[in-house]
Structure 1
Amino acid sequence: MRIGYYAHHHGSGHCRQADKLAALLPNDARAQLTVFTSLDINSYRFTAIDEQQIVRLNAEDEHPDDILAGRAGEYWQPASLHYSPVGNGDIQKRSHQILDTIFQRKIDLMIIDVSVEVAMLCRAASIPYLYVRLPGIRDDAPHLGAFTGALALLAPYPKALEFTHTSEWVCDKSLYLDFISSQKAESYTYESFIDILAKLSVGGEISAPKSTNLPSIETQLTDKSGATIPIITVIKGYGGHKAIDEKLPELRSLLPDALIVSLGPIDDDKRCYVDISTEVDDVTPFICHSNYLMMACGLNAVAQAYHYDTPLIVVLMTGHIMNKPSWLKR
């Protein structure tokens, strides 16, 4: 069976989810997988599939000369869509890219990672699809329409974390996949983690000196059970990091002597509140050996942190369809 996977453009998490799924497929099925995304190669590099299996779509941003805006308001905006500019050339081109690729590559089934609009495009074109359903409150008309039009729903999290008010028919239509983990991560000792921090403090982006200075306290951190300086790792993705950055001044004020590590994007004016700001390929040692983690409840981050007992400080991301209260059960 030839499968297509549409990965939503918001952040790199949807591409990462597609990559993890691809890694689980048998070789012959993986070779026939096509991923559709508007992220460029610098925003996310796939590891489980080749570049020729990726269709780089036109962006779907609004233009000043669009006939109607993406959210045109009552009586102009179809209730089945979240976002639908009229007269937008890029969206016309990306729609053609999707449908033409499905036809040319004889794709049998699409997996739609949260895009209501692409789901409706497939349903209108008589293309069968599975819809990836993220946790939280998603009972608005566009989401319910996408759920209804799908052959089945994929829930990449444990059923135990399902939101209590989710409709019974949605649960019945969902296949719960538990958390989809990346390939087995390398095992890191606490000493190797401290060595990583020491190297980052020399070669990475390090903020102006504060009360903590890693080289001078490295000897105090070699034994986690006797460490006197807590290590707090703040993990952020490109899907939205500003809400977490806004908490950094308060975090530094509450814990002036802590070693605060920021992984992922960070606003320039917030760098002074952390000791190390960098990006890494593998967050496993930070999740495993930090004293505390601070992050939003993104699906990929939770899937990885779920298997460790490191205390987690959750920064809730507000929004009418983006609430994730069920994660707080953890």
Structure 2
Amino acid sequence: MTTVPEDTAATSTPRIGWYVHHHGHGHVARFLAVRPHVDAHVTVFSSMTPPSPLPERTDWVRLPIDNAVEDHDGRVLDPYAAEPTAGGRLHWAPLGHRGHRERLSLIAANAASLDAFVVDVSAEVAVFVRLLGLPLALFSQPGPRTDAPHRLAFDVANVIICPWPEGAHDLSAFGDAQARLHTVGGISRHAGRERAEVERGSVLLLGGIGEAAERPAVWHTLTARFPDVSWRSAGFLPDTFADDPWDAICRAEVVISAAGQNSVADIAAAGRPAIVVPQERPFEEQVTTARALEGDGLAVSLGSWPDPDAIGEALDRARSTAPRWESWRVDSAAVSAAELIRGLARPVGVEA
């Protein structure tokens, strides 16, 4: 069982736990954006492979996966058939699943050495660490999250961090928790970096848009239909994923991207015209974001993909815009989130 090293467990410097969800790359990217501004030792809990190099004063506890089919002495346990929602009160807590139990056990084993905890994102982990008596900062995502598990997580969180600017989304779904909600702006690890010069006529396809198996054919169609465009890929085509796509984003005359929080924040940091193609996600996360961006004149929202006619029209619209991305508040967002997190790492009733 992995635990915090003894030589760093007892220290005057605060210790903060941080749960990083393993779906996609967005949650770890957000961690890497905020972490440099948090003056504390941080222990990350995640099923993801740790980034290399790890930030200074950071431990990484690798958690087992909790959604894999398991073999129990010849018996097959399918977690999807093991009452994972507890009758709709939870999102994911399959009965009898060793991987799930081990995940929470590893967090509990380290809890005594921690002063606060950040969850990005999981309703179950949020409630669990609050039951352990740890002050809780919870990252949220856009969309109508009025279901019972989300409401419970919002209710027990000390601080709810929303990585979008004030006014971008309807916050009524948070109910009474709005009093503990902070819209810090879009969080990008590229905020403040020097921008490369734009290459006129270039269009960047950033990240995962549409079905992975269909992307090579889409690429062929687009390059044939728009031969005057210099097409670029950063994560759209196989083997083009970049740990640091910053220069590619900055050089693009137009960026076409999914409407995930981190992709939008990175485009905002680069100040580029954009077309966002909302992908199907739980609670309409990306549809909600795309609608907000279109409404504020920050990006063109494209609902039909990969329709070449619609893409051509969207490119014309995007090229004619000068989006005021400063309204997305990328420059101060990571620092604001870090201040909220660091502020939790004091015992209740103890003055700074």
TM-score, scaled relative to structure 1:
0.72
Over 3 Å counting, the alpha-carbon distance change for 1:117 and 1:74 in structure 2 is closer
1:17 aligns with 2:30: yes
Cα distance in 2 for partners of 1:128, 1:164 equals: 23
1:86 aligns with 2:95: yes
Contact 1:234-1:293 at 8 Å conserved across structures: yes
Name the counterpart of 1:300: 262
- What secondary structure does 2:160 align onto? strand
Q: Out of 8, 18, 23, which is 1:5 matched to?
A: 18
Report matched runs for 1:175-324 at 5 Å. Answer: 175-182=182-189, 184-190=192-198, 224=200, 230-236=201-207, 242=212, 245=215, 248=219, 251-252=222-223, 254-264=225-235, 266-267=237-238, 278-324=240-286
- What secondary structure does 1:291 align onto? strand
Residue type at the aligned position of 1:49: E
1:108 aligns with 2:70: no
Cα distance in 2 for partners of 1:59, 1:175 equals: 31
- The number of aligned residues is 274
Over 3 Å counting, the alpha-carbon distance change for 1:141 and 1:256 in structure 2 is farther
Over 3 Å counting, the alpha-carbon distance change for 1:174 and 1:255 in structure 2 is same
1:80-101 per-position Cα deviation (integer Å, ceiling 9, x unaligned):
2112222111222121111101
1:53 aligns with 2:15: no
Contact 1:16-1:46 at 8 Å conserved across structures: no
Contact 2:203-2:232 at 8 Å conserved across structures: yes
Name the counterpart of 1:199: none
Residue type at the aligned position of 2:100: I
Over 3 Å counting, the alpha-carbon distance change for 1:63 and 1:151 in structure 2 is same
- Structure 1 residue runs without a partner (length 5+): 191-220, 225-229, 268-276
Contact 1:3-1:110 at 8 Å conserved across structures: yes
Over 3 Å counting, the alpha-carbon distance change for 1:171 and 1:148 in structure 2 is same
- What secondary structure does 2:49 align onto? coil
1:97 aligns with 2:106: yes
What is the RMSD of the two structures over their aligned residues, measured on CA atoms?
A: 3.0
Cα distance in 2 for partners of 1:166, 1:18 equals: 25
CA drift of 1:59 comes to 1.6
Q: Out of 25, 40, 50, which is 2:49 matched to?
A: 40
Over 3 Å counting, the alpha-carbon distance change for 1:266 and 1:303 in structure 2 is same
Cα distance in 2 for partners of 1:70, 1:114 equals: 20
Contact 1:233-1:294 at 8 Å conserved across structures: yes
1:3-23 per-position Cα deviation (integer Å, ceiling 9, x unaligned):
111000101221121121111
CA drift of 1:297 comes to 1.6
Report matched runs for 1:114-133 at 5 Å. Answer: 114-133=121-140
1:107-147 per-position Cα deviation (integer Å, ceiling 9, x unaligned):
11111111112112223333331211112222222111111
Residue type at the aligned position of 1:78: G
TM-score, scaled relative to structure 2:
0.68
Contact 1:22-1:49 at 8 Å conserved across structures: no
CA drift of 1:175 comes to 1.4
Name the counterpart of 1:62: 68
- What secondary structure does 2:95 align onto? coil
Contact 2:259-2:278 at 8 Å conserved across structures: yes
- What secondary structure does 1:323 align onto? helix
Cα distance in 2 for partners of 1:21, 1:244 equals: 34
Higher mean C-alpha displacement, 6-15 vs 258-267? 258-267
Over 3 Å counting, the alpha-carbon distance change for 1:170 and 1:72 in structure 2 is farther
Cα distance in 1 for partners of 2:219, 2:246 equals: 22
Contact 2:195-2:250 at 8 Å conserved across structures: no
Instruction: State the identity as a percent.
Output: 27
CA drift of 1:243 comes to 9.0
Name the counterpart of 1:213: none
Contact 1:71-1:77 at 8 Å conserved across structures: no
Residue type at the aligned position of 2:197: T
CA drift of 1:295 comes to 0.8
Cα distance in 2 for partners of 1:75, 1:20 equals: 32
- What secondary structure does 1:144 align onto? helix
Name the counterpart of 1:166: 173
- What secondary structure does 1:81 align onto? coil
1:146 aligns with 2:153: yes
CA drift of 1:249 comes to 5.3
